[in-house]
Every structure is written in C-alpha cells, then in structure tokens.
C-alpha cells in the first residue's frame, strides 16, 4: 500500500491518499474516504481503533515515513540525530586544527 500526502497552500488541510497498484497493468485503486466522527471516551471501556489498515506487503509504515520525509516532516529523533552529526563535525574540525592536519591529509 502506498501513501500520498497533499497539503493545501495555507497548510490547514492535509489530504492523505492510500492506494495500491494491482494487476500489473498500471491500474490504481484508492481507499474510500473515511469520516472521522469523535465520541466521548468512557473510562473502563476499550475503544476500537480509528483505522485498521491491512498491510499486505508489509511496507505501509515505511511508505508513510518516506512520504512524510518528502514533505520535510521530521521527528524529535531526527532533530537529535542531526544535532549529534553537527556536533561530531565540529569536533572533527577542532581535532584537525589541534593535530595541525590539512584537508588533504
């Protein structure tokens, strides 16, 4: 199952499309729209999931993550990794200066 995300010009409407290519002839099948109806949660009673998505090929979450990445939507973990990489880069630059290494060495 593949995922496509569209965000309108003002950013206040996010459209998410779930689709599959079937039959090997290029036909595309799109999931029907879902109405989100919110009801009050009653304590002690288990709630049903909002969506249950069949993941036949096991790639749904990967495809979703890739589509979010295309939109430059990052998680806190991504920001931490980026910070660690930047700190490492500066540390290596400092070591190069301390050891009197040039870029070519």
pLDDT of 65-88, one tens digit each?
888 888 877 777 777 787 888 888
> When comparing pLDDT for 2 and 105, which is higher?
2
The yes-or-no verdict on residue 99 having pLDDT over 90 is no
Which residues, including other chains, have CB under 8 Å from residue 7's CB and lie 6 or more apart? 13, 14, 15, 71
Which residues, including other chains, have CB under 8 Å from residue 91's CB and lie 6 or more apart? none
The yes-or-no verdict on residue 103 having pLDDT over 70 is no
pTM higher than 0.75, yes or no? no
The yes-or-no verdict on residue 55 having pLDDT over 70 is yes
| CA–CA gap between residue 18 and residue 29 (Å, rounded) | 9
Measuring CA to CA, how many Å separate 70 from each of 56, 63, 65, 66, 92?
A: 23, 11, 9, 6, 30
> When comparing pLDDT for 101 and 21, which is higher?
21
State mean pLDDT over 35-58.
87
> What is the average pLDDT value for the chain, to the nearest integer?
84
Positive or negative, the CA dihedral 64, 70, 37, 30 is: negative
């Amino acid at each position: 199952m593949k995922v496509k995300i569209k965000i309108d010009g003002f950013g206040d409407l996010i459209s998410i499309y779930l689709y599959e290519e079937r039959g090997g002839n290029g036909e595309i099948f799109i999931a029907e729209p879902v109405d989100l109806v919110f009801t009050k949660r009653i304590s002690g009673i288990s709630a049903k999931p909002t969506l249950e998505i069949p993941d036949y090929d096991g790639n749904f979450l990967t495809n979703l993550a890739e589509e979010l990445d295309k939109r430059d939507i990052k998680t806190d973990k991504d920001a931490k990794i980026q910070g660690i990489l930047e700190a490492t880069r500066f540390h290596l630059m400092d070591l190069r200066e301390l050891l009197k290494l040039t870029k070519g060495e």
